[in-house]
């Protein structure tokens, strides 16, 4: 998700507004104004009820901001959050607590919030595609609120979260600045809401997984240990997804996802009935032959090049001539526009099952059909939900996806940004922390083979490796758009949380 998020999010930082409800203009002062201390808003609190089969969940929603305070005591930013806590559950402070965020960088938490985890869900079509407007919010029978209390966090520059001053915004548009701000939020939330004794979990999607990996170690260094970390469509090592000259790794790691996509759209010469079987073949060939061929570079003989191009054609549905013309290296942007060119269609990047008309075949760029399908319903329904059901009102724009951050500082000198080492350190320091990783086989933003490659190179001991649970779904980057995948994901996470708590007293 991070690649196109960066493109849509690379806009100027908006001038920050006071947090919370709309403020009327102040009357003109007769004397020069003095500097006023910012008065922190009170959160909006409301009570709700959700029926799931024969079970009723009575819960409280808290929506508001918490400050990001510097060591000198200055409020540098305000982070918006929406928290869900079950009522009449005692003792409250022993109930699991999940801190949830999406990625980008530049994305709000709305996707996990209203897509899978929260008590309300955007009603898409059964296959996850966009329904005709007007859109509808429905009760979410798959909510994780039945298992744990939930805190949805919008990092600075997303949602309603803003830097306190324009010149502070750059600080939070960086890997470490972002991790530290969210880490300070977690610490402050635990204190203000009396949850220091709760079992704690991090949940991050896409770049949110990158953040969660770094955050797990940051929090541990500040005395806050996690019971579990849940990574959805994870990216931790940017080298695995960056199609740069001299970096052949992504061309290999994307191949199985190309295979799944070509299989789904009927473009493989041999259409196996079982997609898992053809994926296993693609993965085995990638590890045993394709990576070796890429490493040889110009030393490949003409016969070897022809053989590799033929196998790539079998696994991608693209012609051998096209593949040879691209030096045996197909990036994701090329693949989504070429696979169905004969049908005048482009596939999605976040979910390669999604399609859109290829109205500009000569252009190497274009919009992602997945983003086009999900942005309108999620934007519309969040804005209606937060005002009319939660009761939080603001005239600020809620930055759904981009618009609130500038150029992102990856803080990677002579290399690629990588938080997988932080995750390894966190798991070594806290051997009780369990790790759950969910992947979609139709994800061309953070492909599953890329995620598995990173996990297989963490350098974990056999004992720590037992703390790792990996699940693959018949879905895309947001596998939960598909109802069947959503149901399975909820069951898997429920089992994971139970397992993570088994060691707790």
Asked whether the predicted pLDDT for residue 35 surpasses 60, the reply is no
Band (pLDDT 50/70/90 cuts) for residue 20 is: very low
- At 453, the pLDDT band (50, 70, 90 cuts) reads very high
**In contact, 1 and 446? CB cutoff 8 Å:** yes
Average pLDDT score over residue span 314-329: 97
Query: pLDDT tier at 402 (50, 70, 90 boundaries)?
Result: confident
pLDDT on residue 89: 60
pTM here is 0.91
Task: List the Cα angle 69/71/75 in 5-degree steps.
Answer: 25
Q: Is the dihedral of CA 116, 122, 124, 130 positive or negative?
A: negative
- Inform me whether the pLDDT recorded for 114 exceeds 90: yes
* Rounded distance between C-alpha atoms, residue 315 and residue 261, angstroms: 10
For residue 300, pLDDT beyond 80: yes
How far are the Cα atoms of 79, 100, 165, 394 from residue 73, in angstroms, in the given order? Answer: 16, 26, 15, 26
Length of the chain: 505
The pLDDT of residue 22 is above 80: no
Integer Cα distance of 201 and 295 in angstroms: 40
Q: How far apart are CA 401 and CA 3, in angstroms?
A: 12
Category of 318 on φ-ψ map: left (φ > 0), alpha (ψ -120 to 50) or beta: beta
Domain segments of the chain as ranges: 2-12+43-239+374-501, 244-367
pLDDT confidence of residue 91: 63
How many Cβ atoms sit within 10 Å of the Cβ of residue 139? 15
Quote the pLDDT of residue 271: 73
Number of H helices, E strands in the chain: 17, 14
d(CA 484, CA 142): 11
Cβ distance 255 to 291 under 8 Å? Answer: no
Question: Which pLDDT does position 93 carry in this prediction?
Answer: 66
What confidence category does residue 504 fall into, taking pLDDT thresholds of 50, 70 and 90? low
Lowest-confidence pick of 164-168, 173-177, 297-301? 164-168
pLDDT at 90 over 50: yes
Sign of CA dihedral 264, 269, 274, 279: negative
The token pair at 364 is 């190497």
Residues 6 or more apart in contact with residue 38 via CB below 8 angstroms: 18, 75, 164
Share of the chain above pLDDT 90, in %: 82
Q: Mean pLDDT of all residues in the chain?
A: 90
Residue 173 CB neighbours (<10 A) = 22
Long-range CB pairs of 22-28 (<8 Å, 24+ gap) are: 22/393, 22/394, 22/395
Instruction: Specify whether the CB–CB gap between 461 and 494 falls below 8 A.
Output: no
Higher-confidence residue: 232 or 2? 232
| pLDDT recorded at residue 127 | 84
CA–CA gap between residue 315 and residue 238 (Å, rounded): 24
- The whole-angstrom separation of Cα 426 and Cα 423 is 5
- Top pLDDT among 402 and 180 is at 180
- Quickly tell me which residue has 């469509």 as its tokens: 233
Q: Is the pLDDT of residue 5 over 80?
A: no
Give the CATH superfamily of 2-12+43-239+374-501: Alpha/Beta hydrolase fold, catalytic domain (3.40.50.1820)
**3-state SS string for 376-397:** HHHHHHHHHHHHHCCCCCCCCC
Query: Nearest-5° angle of CA 142, CA 122, CA 116?
Result: 35
DSSP letters, 112-136, are HIIIIISSEEE---TTSPPPPSSP-
Contact 186, 201 (CB under 8 A): no
Nearest Cα to Cα of residue 479 among 454, 448, 434: 448
**What pLDDT, in 10s, does the model give residues 189-201?**
999 999 999 999 9
CB atoms within 10 A of CB 167: 9
First to last CA, the chain: 38
CA 135, distance to chain mean position in Å, is 23
Give Cβ neighbours of residue 492 (< 8 Å, ≥ 6 apart). Answer: 436, 438, 469, 471
Check whether 6 has a pLDDT greater than 80: no
34-40 — which CB contacts under 8 Å span 24+ positions?
Answer: 38/75, 38/164, 40/65, 40/67
Three-state DSSP class for residue 325: helix
Cis peptide before 105 (omega within 30 of 0): yes
């Amino acid at each position: 998700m991070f690649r196109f998020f960066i493109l849509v999010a690379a806009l100027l930082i908006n001038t920050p507004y006071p947090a919370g409800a709309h403020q009327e203009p102040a009357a003109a002062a007769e004397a020069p104004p003095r500097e006023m201390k910012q008065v922190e808003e009170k959160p909006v609190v409301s009570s709700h009820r959700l029926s799931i089969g024969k079970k009723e969940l009575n819960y409280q929603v808290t929506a508001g901001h918490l400050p990001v305070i510097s060591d000198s005591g200055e409020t540098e930013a305000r982070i918006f959050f929406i928290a869900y806590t079950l009522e009449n559950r005692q003792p409250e402070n022993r109930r699991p607590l999940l801190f949830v965020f999406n990625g980008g960088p530049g994305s709000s938490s709305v996707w996990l919030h209203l897509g899978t985890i929260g008590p309300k869900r955007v009603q898409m079509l059964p296959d996850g595609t966009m329904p005709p407007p007007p859109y509808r919010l429905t009760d979410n029978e798959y909510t994780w609120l039945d298992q744990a209390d939930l805190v949805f966090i919008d990092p600075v520059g997303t949602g309603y979260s803003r830097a306190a001053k324009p010149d502070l915004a750059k600080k939070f548009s960086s890997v470490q600045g972002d991790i530290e701000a969210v880490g300070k939020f977690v610490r402050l939330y635990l204190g203000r809401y009396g949850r220091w004794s709760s079992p704690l979990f991090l949940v991050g999607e896409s770049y949110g997984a990158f953040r969660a990996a770094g955050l797990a170690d940051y929090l541990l260094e500040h005395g806050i240990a996690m019971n579990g970390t849940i990574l959805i469509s994870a990216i931790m090592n940017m080298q695995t997804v960056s199609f740069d000259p001299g970096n052949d790794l992504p061309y290999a790691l994307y191949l199985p996802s190309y295979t799944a996509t070509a299989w789904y759209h009927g473009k493989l010469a041999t259409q196996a009935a079982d997609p898992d079987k053809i994926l296993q073949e693609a993965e085995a060939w990638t590890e045993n032959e394709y990576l070796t061929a890429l490493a040889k570079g110009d030393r490949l003989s003409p016969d070897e090049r022809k053989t590799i191009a033929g196998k790539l054609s079998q696994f991608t549905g693209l012609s051998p001539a096209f593949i040879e013309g691209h030096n045996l290296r197909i990036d994701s942007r090329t693949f989504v526009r070429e696979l169905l060119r004969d049908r005048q269609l482009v596939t999605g990047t976040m979910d390669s099952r999604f399609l859109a008309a290829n109205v500009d075949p000569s252009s190497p760029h274009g919009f992602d059909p997945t983003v086009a399908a999900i942005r309108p319903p999620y934007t519309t329904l969040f804005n209606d939900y937060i005002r009319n059901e939660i009761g939080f009102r603001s005239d600020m724009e809620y930055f759904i996806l981009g618009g609130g951050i500038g150029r992102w500082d990856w803080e990677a000198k002579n290399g690629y940004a990588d938080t997988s080492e932080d995750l390894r350190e966190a798991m070594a320091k806290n051997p009780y922390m369990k790790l759950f990783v969910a992947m979609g086989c139709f994800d061309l933003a953070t492909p599953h083979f890329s995620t598995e490659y990173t996990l297989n190179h963490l350098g974990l001991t056999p004992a720590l490796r037992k703390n790792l649970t990996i699940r693959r779904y018949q879905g895309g980057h947001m596998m939960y758009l598909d109802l069947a995948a959503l149901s399975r994901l909820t069951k898997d996470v429920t089992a994971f949380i139970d397992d993570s708590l088994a060691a707790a007293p």
